[in-house]
Amino acid sequence: MKNAYVHGYNQRENIRLQDQASTLVDLLHSDTTFPAGSSVLEAGCGVGAQTITLAKNNPDAVITSIDISEISLEEARQKAASEKITNVTFQQADIFNLSFEPHSFDHIFVCFVLEHLSNPVEALAILKKFIRPGGTITVIEGDHGSAYFYPNRKAANTVIQCLVELQKKGGGNAMIGRELYPLLVKAGYQSVNVSPRMVYADASKPEMVEGFTKNTFTAMIEGIRESSLNSGLIDEKIFNQGIKALYRTAEHDGVFCYTFFKAVATCG
Ligand SMILES: C[S@@+](CC[C@H](N)C(=O)[O-])C[C@H]1O[C@@H](n2cnc3c(N)ncnc32)[C@H](O)[C@@H]1O
């Protein structure tokens, strides 16, 4: 079953996904390494923001990256070519209708995809069929309920909640990070191991303030302006105040915290 992708497929969102990926590269990828010769499926690769790191960190793995959006895949292909990546094949495919042979991958990698699906357990269970016995899945998701910051302004919380509600209306779940353990268990995986990864940004870490607070998180909320106002979930004045309050956390005395959740589980 497909969902409306709340962030849309536009150039600004593509840049945000790249910013997100490059800022979070160590936090999210440092412990994802596959043995030489492994076959890896990246499900929902989008514009390839994670693909490049996966491919560079695992030059001897054979990676197949799929996405439902041909437009995103074209961008991903161009990015991979410009980075001289040779161990990735991109394919248009729907997670819910895959034509690979059962058990054909040693490992599956899924990042920031489940949050957009109304049936994440079904997606995980389907993916499981394509992992060889003893193979693994890695799942990374955020959780917008984990965002806290200084100054703690009501409008900032309201505008974040607006994204949570909007995503819920579209069938997704912006607070799915905390559910990775039960979702993977329900989908039949074993040895599920979840590790929370906190991003912390203050003025002593200007690259995190720019890369995460402003260009990843606040840019994501700014990106839902039109759909939020059209949905009637929030009025323009509060929306603007919320965005201003989020940018305020990026000033000299501001602080921003957010937690991602990374799960690794095995397929029996
Ligand atoms: C937020 S993007 C994440 C992209 C990438 N994993 C990253 O971390 O930058 C979510 C992606 O999932 C893709 N997607 C959503 N539903 C899908 C489905 N049923 N099958 C394949 N891809 C899907 C969307 O097209 C979108 O590119």
45-103 pLDDT, tens digit each? 999 999 999 999 999 999 999 999 999 999 999 999 999 999 999 999 999 999 999 99
**Ligand 1 within 6 A of 113 CB?**
yes
**Ligand 1 within 6 A of 112 CB?**
yes
Residue 4 pLDDT greater than 70, yes or no: no
Instruction: Give the pLDDT confidence score for residue 3 in this predicted structure.
Output: 56
Instruction: Give the pLDDT confidence score for residue 9 in this predicted structure.
Output: 75
Instruction: Give the pLDDT confidence score for residue 2 in this predicted structure.
Output: 45
Q: Which residues contact 141 (CB under 8 A, 6 or more apart)?
A: 111, 112, 114, 115, 176, 177, 180, 260, 261
Instruction: Give the pLDDT confidence score for residue 22 in this predicted structure.
Output: 79
Q: CB of 223 within 8 A of CB of 12?
A: yes
**Ligand 1 within 6 A of 69 CB?**
yes
Instruction: Give the pLDDT confidence score for residue 130 in this predicted structure.
Output: 98
Nearest residue (by CA) to ligand 1, atom 2, is 46
User: Could you give the CA distance from residue 236 to residue 253 in angstroms, rounded to a whole number?
Assistant: 27
Residue 17 pLDDT greater than 80, yes or no: no
pLDDT in tens, 225-243: 999 999 999 999 999 999 9
pTM for the predicted model, two decimal places: 0.93
Give the distance (Å) from ligand 1 centre to CA of residue 40: 16
Mutation test residue for ligand 1: of 68, 74, 96, the one with most atoms within 8 Å of CB: 68
Give the distance (Å) from ligand 1 centre to CA of residue 67: 6
pLDDT in tens, 118-175: 999 999 999 999 999 999 999 999 999 999 999 999 999 999 999 999 999 999 999 9
In the block, which residue shows the tokens 């996904």?
Answer: 17
Give the distance (Å) from ligand 1 centre to CA of residue 154: 31
**Cα–Cα distances in angstroms (integers) from residue 113 to residues 54, 62, 87, 249, in the given order:** 16, 21, 22, 27
**Ligand 1 within 6 A of 96 CB?**
yes
